[in-house]
Structure 1
Amino acid sequence: MKKYILISSLIVSILLFSCNNFKSETSITSDGISKPKPPKAVGPPRVLFIGNSHMEYFVSGPTLFQELCNANNQNINVQQLITIGVSLNKVYFTNKTEADQNFSNIDKDGNYYDYVIIQESTPIALTNLSKFRDNLKLFAEKIHKNSPDAAIYVYQNMSPLSYANSEYNNYYTELRKNTILAAAFIKNAGVLRVGDAVKDAYEGKSGYKYLTGNKDNLRDGKNTLHFINDGGFLQAVLIYSTIFDKIPIIPKKLLLSTGTGDNDNMRKQEVEKAVTNTKALEEIAFSNR
C-alpha cells in the first residue's frame, strides 16, 4: 500500500494542548451510547466508510471488513471516501464529484446506504466539538437525501499518544466524550467504539499483550500512530461485531501489512502468523460492539 507523509503540525498541536484547557459540557458514561437501527435492505446492504488514515494506512479497515464479510457469507457492498490527513469537511471537498454522485444514487428499498461509518480527524474531535458537529452534519444531510434511515456510526478516535504517555487516558476520555456528544446531534447515529477497544487491548483485557520486546503490536508511527496488523484486525472485527452482533469466523488468510517501511505493502498473509493473539482481540472487539 502506498504510504503518504503526513504533515505533523496538527498532531503536534494536540500534544501541546494542555488537558487543563479541556472544557466538558456534561458527564457522559457508556450508558449514553445508543445503537442505531439499520433499515431493511432489499439486496446486499451497502456500507460507506468516510474518514482518513485511521481507517486506511498500513492496513485497510474497509478491505479487512469486506474480507470478513466474504468469509462469513455476508453479501455486502463496501464503499469508501477516504483522504489521508484531513478533516471531514476536506474529505468531502477533496472527493466532491464522487461524493455527490454517490449521494444522488437511489435504491428501490428507499435507502442507498444502509450503514455509514464516519471518522473525524483527531485534532477536531479532540479540541473543537462545534466543528466536529458541523462536519458530521455536513455529511449527514447529504446522506439522508438518498438514505434517510441509514444507520450512522461515528468513529471514536483513539488517544493519539503512546500508551506509555501519562496523558494517554486524558486524551482518551475527552475524545470519547466529544464523540458521544457529537453523535447525539445526528439522526439514527451511534458510536463505533474504536477508542474503547484500543484502550482495552492496551490494558491487557482477555490476556492480550500489546508489547513484544519494546514493539507496540497495535500501532506504529513517528508523528502519527497508525494501526498495524493487530490494531487493524481489532478494528475490522469490531466493525463486523458492531454491525452483525456476532464474532466473525476468521479466514486463514487476510490482506495484512508486511511491515511499516517504504517498501512494505499489504498482501495476503496467514492470520495466526501476522496477528499476535487473534482470540483475545476478537473478545475485546465483541465486548465493545
Structure 2
Amino acid sequence: MKKYILVLGIIVSCLIISCKNFTSENSITSDGISKPQAPNAIGPPRVLFIGNNQTEYFVSAPTLFQELCNANNKNVNVQQLITMGVPLDKVYYTNKTEANQNFSTIDKDGNYYDFVILQESPQIALTNLEKYRSNLKLIAEKIHKNSPDVAIYVYQNMTPLPYTDSDYTNYYKELRKNTILATAFIKNAGILKIGDAVKDAYRGKNGYNYLKNSTDHLCYGQNTPHFLNDGGFLQAVLLYNTIFEEKPIIPKKLILSTGTGDNDNMRKQEVSKAISDPVALEEIAFSNR
C-alpha cells in the first residue's frame, strides 16, 4: 500500500506540472481553494446534492442541512440525486431521466440551481484524477445549460482509512490535492472542506474527542467509513457555514441515526444527547468554511 501511495504521489506531481500549461477558470487562493460566488436568486435558492454514501447513509446531509436552514429562517429548496456506492457519472446515468428534467428547467432569474454539491466516490477521488475531472465536467456542463452562474462546491472526501492507520495522513494529502486539481477547471467552483474538518476533529481540535467508551463517534464502516451522528452534524454545519458565512442556531432536535444496525433508521432526536460535543464540532466546522 505504501508503494502504491508513493507511485500515486509521483503521478499526481507530474499532473501538477502539466497543469501549469493551462489557465484555470477559478481564482485560486494561497492554499489552492477558491470561493464561488452565488448568483442573485429571485425566490428561495435551490441547493442540489449529487453524490453517494458520504452524502447519505446512516445520516443524511441534505436532510440535516434543510433542518438547519428551517431553524434559522433560511428559505431554501433542497434537492438530491443520490446513488449508493458509485462515482458521479454513474449517479447521473442512474438518475438520468430525473436529472435531465431538472437540469433543463428554467428559472426567471436565469439560474434554476443556485448551489450544487458534487461528491465523487473516494476511490475515484483518490486514484484517478482524470476521471475525477471528467466526471465533474460532465455534471457541470449539464447544469450550466440552465444554471450558468451556479455556485458549485466539490466535496473533499474524508480519508477511507481509520484515523489510527499509518497511511491516514498520506491518503488525506492525496485526496486534498486531487480535489484542488479537479476543481480548478470548473467554472465558479470551490471546495467543501469535509476532509479538512474531519481530520481536525480526529486531531482533537477545540477539545473534541472522537472516542467515547473506545468507540469512534465520527464514522463507522469496515471498508468504507460512513458518517455517524457526530460526523453528519459536522458535515451539515460546515455546509451551512460555507454557504451563509455564519454559524447557525442549532435546534434542540435534528433527524439523526438511531444506530448502525439493519433495524436502525433516522428519526428526530435531541442534539444534546445524540451528538457527543456539538459546541466543539460547530467550531471545527466554522474554522473550515
| TM-score of the superposed pair, with normalisation by structure 1 | 0.93
Asked if 1:280 corresponds to 2:249, the answer is no
Q: How does 1:211-222 map to 2 (within 5 A)?
A: 211-222=211-222
SS in 2 for 1:69: helix
Q: Residue 202 of structure 1 aligns with which residue?
A: 202
Q: How does 1:123-138 map to 2 (within 5 A)?
A: 123-138=123-138
Contact 2:159 2:172 (8 Å CA) reproduced = yes
SS in 1 for 2:145: helix
Asked if 1:140 corresponds to 2:140, the answer is yes
Alpha-carbon separation, structure 1, partners of 2:29 and 2:104: 37
Alpha-carbon separation, structure 2, partners of 1:115 and 1:221: 29
Q: Residue 26 of structure 1 aligns with which residue?
A: 16
Q: How does 1:117-266 map to 2 (within 5 A)?
A: 117-266=117-266
SS in 2 for 1:26: helix
Deviations 1:76-115 (Å, cap 9, x if unpaired)?
Answer: 0000000000000000000000000000101000000000
Q: Residue 58 of structure 1 aligns with which residue?
A: 58
Contact 2:240 2:248 (8 Å CA) reproduced = yes
Alpha-carbon separation, structure 1, partners of 2:254 and 2:163: 27
SS in 2 for 1:251: coil
Contact 2:59 2:257 (8 Å CA) reproduced = yes
Alpha-carbon separation, structure 2, partners of 1:80 and 1:249: 24
Asked if 1:115 corresponds to 2:105, the answer is no
Alpha-carbon separation, structure 2, partners of 1:81 and 1:181: 24
Shift of 1:31: 2.0
Identity of aligned residues (%): 73
Shift of 1:227: 0.1
SS in 1 for 2:16: coil
SS in 2 for 1:276: coil
Q: Residue 20 of structure 2 aligns with which residue?
A: none
User: How many residues of Structure 1 are paired with residues of Structure 2 in the alignment?
Assistant: 275
Q: Quick one: structure 1 residues 30 and 87, their matched pair in 2 at CA, closer, same or farther if it must change by over 3 Å?
A: farther
Alpha-carbon separation, structure 2, partners of 1:224 and 1:139: 24
Shift of 1:224: 1.3
Q: Quick one: structure 1 residues 30 and 156, their matched pair in 2 at CA, closer, same or farther if it must change by over 3 Å?
A: farther
Alpha-carbon separation, structure 2, partners of 1:47 and 1:206: 30
Alpha-carbon separation, structure 1, partners of 2:78 and 2:112: 12
| TM-score of the superposed pair, with normalisation by structure 2 | 0.93
Alpha-carbon separation, structure 1, partners of 2:241 and 2:31: 19
Alpha-carbon separation, structure 2, partners of 1:143 and 1:16: 38
Q: Quick one: structure 1 residues 251 and 140, their matched pair in 2 at CA, closer, same or farther if it must change by over 3 Å?
A: same
Q: Which runs of 5+ in 2 are unaligned?
A: 18-27
Q: Residue 70 of structure 2 aligns with which residue?
A: 70
SS in 2 for 1:147: coil
- AA partner of residue 121 (structure 1): S
Segments ≥4 residues shifted beyond 6 Å: none
Shift of 1:213: 2.3
Contact 2:2 2:167 (8 Å CA) reproduced = no
Alpha-carbon separation, structure 2, partners of 1:17 and 1:119: 27
Shift of 1:223: 1.9
Shift of 1:16: 8.4
